[in-house]
Structure 1
C-alpha cells in the first residue's frame, strides 16, 4: 500500500490560479470531430466559426472548456488555467518575463468568448494560457432531457509528459503554488519524483506531471457524474462504430481511486472519462507516495495498459509560430508494465 511523507510547503506566489480552464485539440476534420465529441461523447456546442468549435460540459458556466481547431495534424494547441483576477495576469507576465520565457498577450475575443489572456511557453516547452474572464454560458446540470451517453460534467485534469518530472513538480509547487495529492518515486537512493498529481481546485489534480518524452500531453480527463456513465460512454462508442477507439479500461486507478476509460478521438487525440476520485480540501494533508515498482498505482484492478498507452502522446504547439515542439527523451525510465 502507498506510504506518505511529511507535509511540504508549496510556494506562495502573488497570483492565484483557480483551476484548469480549457484545452485546445487540433483536428484534421472539424465536422467529424464535432460530431464525435457532441453526438457520441456528450459535450455541448456553444459556438463555432470556420476553423473552431467551442464545447462545454454540463457543469460549465463559461463559454467553453474544449476548443476543436482545424489543423493539418492532430495535437494540442494550448491548455489554460483560470486565475482569480485581471491583475493576476499582469503579475504572471512580470514573473515569466523575469525568467526570460516567451509570452504572448491574447486580446479579448481572439479566442471566442474569452477576455484578455496571457500565453507563455513554459520552461518545459508547453503552451500554457492564463485567463480571468470568459463569457457565461447556460448551466446544463439540471437540463436532464439534454444529457446523453457518458455526459461529462467538467474538464477535470490534464496529464503531461516531460523528461524531468522532478523539475516539473518543483515548477508547479514552488513557482505556481500548486498542492500535491499523490506522487510516484523510485526507491532510495535516487528517490526523485517520477510523477505527481497536483491541484488548485479541491480534487486530486488539475495537472499530473509525468516522466516521458516531452513536452507532450498524454490526455485530458473529463469527470462523469457516476460510474454507470463510464459504461454508457462505452456503449455509445461501440454502437456508433468507435469500439476500437476505446484504448484502456474500464478499470480503476490506484492513484486517485478513479474508475476510468481512455478513449482516442478520430484523429488519435487521447482523453479519459473518469469518476470516483476524492476531495483534497485539507491542504495540509501530506501527499501519498507510491513506489515506482508498485503497479497498483496504475490499475488497482483491470487489464494492464496496452503498450501504446505508454509510448504515444500528443505533441504541443510553439506559441510564436504554431510549429510543433520537438520531443526530448526522459532523464529516467519507468519500469515497463505493459503486456508484450
Structure 2
C-alpha cells in the first residue's frame, strides 16, 4: 500500500511524545536500574510511584514507574500545542467511537485518556509542571547520561492501519519497510517533532510496546554503559548491540529492565523537519536495513514485547520475516 501524503493540517496539534507509564513489580529494583545504572533523575517518589526525567528535560517526568502486580504498560502520552487542542482531540476521538475520559494525573493539567486504532491506551495533555534546568549541572550526569526521551516503537498487527490512523493525527512517515511480495508495510517510522520518529510500528503480535528510547550525547556513552552493566550484575540485560541502524542511522543499544521492558539507548539520527521531505523506502530483506553494521538482531528482538494493560494482542496475518540472527 502507498504511504499516505503528509497531513499538514490535522484535527488537533500534537507537538511530540511525552512520557510512558510502566507497571513494575519491584520499585527498588527498577530504581536501581533506571536511576543508579542509566542515570535518570528522580523528580518525585513514594511507595507506589517513581517519577523520572532526563538531563535536558524541563517537564516533570518522561517516565513513570508504577508499582503493580503485573509488568504491563499503563499508557503512552503525547503533549499538545495548547489547552484548546485537548477539546479538539476529545471531540475527534469521540467522533470515531473511541472511549474518551478526562483523568487526573499528578503534575499535569487536564489530561485526556483514550486509545488508538488497536485499543492501545494513549493520553494527551497540554500542561505539565516545569522544573528548573539541570542540563549544566554536570555533577548529576551519571550512567549513560540520558538527555531526553526520543521515541516509542510498538508492535502492530497491521502497520498499514497504524500509519493511516496516526497520519490522520498528523504523524509523518520518515522511513518505512515494505514487503515486496504483498506490497504491505512491515514497519514504519513516524514523527511530529522533527526527528526520525516519535512513534514507530513494527509488524507482529500487537499492540505491544517494543521499546522506549532515550537519547544520549555520544556513542561513547553507550560503550561506557556496556562496561557498567557488565560489571554491576546487568550483563544479561544487554539484548542487542551496540551497533548502527540502517534505518534512522542511529547508534544503538537495546537493554531490558528488571520487568522485561525494553529500552533503547540511542544517538545520532537525522533531522526531518521539512513537511515535504520524502520518506525513505527499505526492502525487508536488505541486511543493512536493521543493522548497518553489527550483529543481526536476535529472535527475542522480534518476538518479545510489553503488554498494554487490559488490551489483548492480536496476531498479524503478514507472514513476511526479516533477517534474524541464528
Q: TM-score range by the shorter chain?
A: over 0.9
Is contact 1:180-1:198 (8 Å) kept? Answer: yes
Please tell me whether residue 102 in structure 1 is matched to residue 72 in structure 2. Answer: no
Give the whole-Å Cα distance in 2 for the aligned partners of 1:338 and 1:103. 40
2:313 is matched with which residue?
327
Give the whole-Å Cα distance in 2 for the aligned partners of 1:18 and 1:26. 25
Give the whole-Å Cα distance in 1 for the aligned partners of 2:305 and 2:3. 33
| 1:300 aligns with one of 292, 295, 318 | 292
Is contact 1:11-1:176 (8 Å) kept? Answer: no
1:142-221 correspondence to structure 2 within 5 Å: 142-173=136-167, 175-187=168-180, 190-221=182-213
| 1:56 aligns with one of 41, 53, 72 | 53
Give the whole-Å Cα distance in 2 for the aligned partners of 1:218 and 1:6. 22
TM-score by length of 2: 0.97
Count of residue pairs the alignment pairs up:
325
Structure 1 residue 11 displacement after superposition: 5.3
RMSD: 1.4
Structure 1 residue 75 displacement after superposition: 2.3
Please tell me whether residue 224 in structure 1 is matched to residue 216 in structure 2. Answer: yes
Give the whole-Å Cα distance in 1 for the aligned partners of 2:224 and 2:119. 37
Please tell me whether residue 68 in structure 1 is matched to residue 62 in structure 2. Answer: no
- Cα shift readout 1:271-307 (whole Å, capped 9, x = no counterpart): 1000110111222110000011112110001011111
Is contact 2:20-2:62 (8 Å) kept? Answer: yes
2:84 is matched with which residue?
87
Give the whole-Å Cα distance in 1 for the aligned partners of 2:192 and 2:128. 19
Is contact 2:6-2:170 (8 Å) kept? Answer: no
Structure 1 residue 6 displacement after superposition: 9.3
Moved over 4 A (4+): none
Q: Unpaired segments of 5 or more residues in structure 1?
A: 318-322
1:2-151 correspondence to structure 2 within 5 Å: 8-10=5-7, 12-107=9-104, 111-151=105-145
The 1:228–1:116 alpha-carbon spacing in structure 2 relative to 1, beyond 3 Å, is: same
Give the whole-Å Cα distance in 1 for the aligned partners of 2:74 and 2:15. 21
